Structure 1
């Protein structure tokens, strides 16, 4: 799993009734984008370091100027 600053990380619940959590990656520890990541959680605003597990996925941000055009 590789990420960059500005990507979102989504953690799916692993138990019944666990909520999905989404955070913004604000720092990466390694130049190649490997964990751990410093994440600001959107639900609390709190910042933590995490080593993501199998329940995590990265949503890469679109590079500036490459946003998709609306369909006519």
Structure 2
């Protein structure tokens, strides 16, 4: 798994009825875009994440000017 700053990390819920979590990758601490990632979630909470099989990375979308 490889990511870049600005990519979106989506964590799928493991339990029925719980929502997926998503956050923006604000720092990549592994070499060549590999984990761990510092992720800022929507509520402002930041956490160091080692993504598992329940995670996907969505590349950031660059806006055209």
How large is the RMSD of aligned CA atoms in angstroms? 1.6
Structure 2: tracts of 5 or more residues without a match: none
TM-score by length of 1: 0.81
**Structure 2 equivalent of residue 17 of structure 1:** 17
**Structure 2 equivalent of residue 54 of structure 1:** 53
After TM superposition, what 4+ stretches of structure 1 lie above 6 angstroms from structure 2?
none
Q: How does 1:1-72 map onto structure 2 within 5 Å?
A: 1-42=1-42, 44-63=43-62, 65=64
How far apart are the structure 1 equivalents of 2:63 and 2:28?
A: 20
Larger Rg: 1
Deviations 1:7-49 (CA, angstroms, capped at 9, x unpaired): 000011011112110100000012311000000001x111110
